[in-house]
């Protein structure tokens, strides 16, 4: 019999913006965004919950965010500060389990299956971690607990900010079924519209649709999507190994042909990589750009500098 797994997904709430509000209390309760300037053709890296009420979200061009909320407070990215706090949070995770898969500076999966005999139930571990993050950093996190990564991620998203949700084998379908099909990993805007056009709007409707019909929409991906709709995800938590490179990447839910939009995203990625290099007191000599098309064709271009660098402007040029 397969051992019951206990997976936590911990997601910091509006991390970059929350750090800025914490470091400058006068910003609390005000709409704040972190990102590049309009002159840089910048994008929003993070938006406080106050600014989200105006429709602002991450990856949105800064110019658009300012139109939606002219009074929004725009702050530059301080990647070194965010990385510093992220390290502190990861140390808390490591106090409970070595099975930590860091997805980004502000979120991670933890497998605490082997930790229960030492620290108590998964719920107890999750609440302790959540409390420690708030007490030791001043920031809030949303925690999802479930038997697998997909459900844990789903759980952490359900009651943000400052949420705590447990999904079990017994209640998973009750929670999943009413949700929009777009909540499933791999279902982007284009695929979701294809579902809507065929009268499939909820996960329950998708789950009850014959596989052969779904294959006409999803192709070879149909089997995986059906498993997720049933709350099944066997992927392990994969602890991060020591990095020989520092990277940033983004997969879009739909194909993007807007050059300026792509440049905005690339600028954000350059800032992130350069910030992490400086935080680690490292420099890089070779920079690589990877572009993948919808047919999975991948184009890679590399450039080697004469001298190692961690300067954002040098990497951007």
Q: Which residues have a catalytic role annotated?
A: 107
**Which uninterrupted H or E stretch holds 285?**
strand 284-292
Count other Cβ atoms within 10 Å, centred on residue 174: 11
Q: What are phi and psi of 292, to 5 degrees?
A: -120, 130
For residues 85 and 19, is the Cβ–Cβ distance under 8 A?
yes
CA distance 140 to 138: 7
CA distance 270 to 262: 12
For residues 151 and 41, is the Cβ–Cβ distance under 8 A?
no
For residues 110 and 8, is the Cβ–Cβ distance under 8 A?
yes
The two beta strands, 44-47 and 107-111, are unpaired
């Amino acid at each position: 019999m397969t051992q019951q797994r206990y997976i936590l997904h911990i997601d910091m709430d509006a991390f970059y913006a929350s750090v800025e509000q914490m470091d400058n209390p006068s910003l609390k309760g005000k709409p704040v965004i972190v990102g590049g300037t309009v002159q840089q053709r910048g994008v929003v890296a993070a938006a406080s919950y106050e600014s989200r009420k105006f429709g602002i979200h991450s990856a949105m061009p800064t110019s658009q965010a300012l139109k939606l909320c002219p009074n929004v407070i725009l702050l530059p990215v301080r990647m070194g500060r965010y990385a510093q706090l992220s390290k502190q949070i990861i140390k808390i995770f490591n106090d409970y389990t070595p099975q930590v898969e860091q997805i980004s500076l502000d979120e991670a999966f933890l497998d605490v299956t082997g930790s229960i005999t030492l620290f108590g139930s998964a719920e107890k571990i999750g609440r302790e971690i959540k409390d420690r993050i708030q007490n030791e950093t001043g920031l809030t996190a949303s925690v999802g607990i479930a038997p697998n990564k997909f459900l844990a991620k789903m759980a952490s998203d359900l009651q943000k900010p400052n949420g705590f949700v447990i999904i079990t084998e017994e209640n998973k379908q009750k929670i999943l079924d009413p949700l929009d099909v777009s909540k499933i990993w791999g279902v982007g805007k284009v695929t979701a519209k294809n579902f809507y056009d065929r009268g499939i709007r909820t996960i329950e409707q998708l789950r009850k649709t014959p596989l052969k019909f779904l294959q006409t929409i999803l192709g070879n991906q149909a089997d995986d999507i059906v498993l997720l709709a049933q709350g099944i995800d066997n992927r392990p938590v994969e602890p991060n190994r020591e990095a020989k490179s520092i990277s940033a990447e983004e997969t879009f839910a739909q194909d993007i042909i807007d050059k300026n939009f792509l440049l905005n995203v690339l600028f954000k990625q350059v800032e992130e990589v350069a910030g992490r290099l400086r935080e680690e007191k490292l420099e890089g000599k070779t920079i690589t750009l990877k572009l993948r098309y919808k047919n999975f064709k991948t184009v890679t271009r590399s450039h080697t500098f004469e001298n190692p660098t961690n300067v954002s402007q040098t990497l951007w040029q």
